[in-house]
Copies of this chain bind each other. A is one copy, B any other.
């Protein structure tokens, strides 16, 4: 597989691209993260989401600890070629480290953020390994 397609991505000065992960079946937006060139290449090659952890400054194979991997269904690029949309099949039905289905569980109601989604599995249970 040629790497030329990676050259089309407009990487930030830090060599990253923002990535939106969306559940391919439900359409739910699961999470937002970043990839560098190697992460995007590996994601395409392995068919599982591999991000770049900006805090840990290393590749982050999503689900490496929790088992909640993301199987890649589609990889999309936007009009400015600087944002990636990843459609995935979310293993375990949990994308968020809080044990929720997705990360966007806080909804603005009037002037308050309200938690709308239940914890499906206790994080202590998820990360006990």
Contact = CB atoms under 8 A, between A and B. Distances in A.
Interface of A: 1-5, 8, 18, 20, 22, 26-29, 31-32, 44, 74-81, 83, 85, 96-98, 100, 103-108, 110-113
Contact of A22 (B2, B29, B44, B111): B29
B32 A18 contact: yes
Contact of A106 (B18, B77, B103): B77
Nearest to A108: B75
Nearest to A26: B27
Contact of A76 (B76, B79, B85, B104): B104
A31 B108 contact: no
Top-9 shortest CB links A-B: A27-B27, A78-B103, A75-B108, A76-B104, A77-B106, A32-B83, A85-B104, A79-B103, A2-B111
A85 B100 CA distance: 16
A28 B78 CA distance: 13
Given A27-B26, A29-B85, A113-B5, A76 B108 contact: yes
Contacts of A26: 27
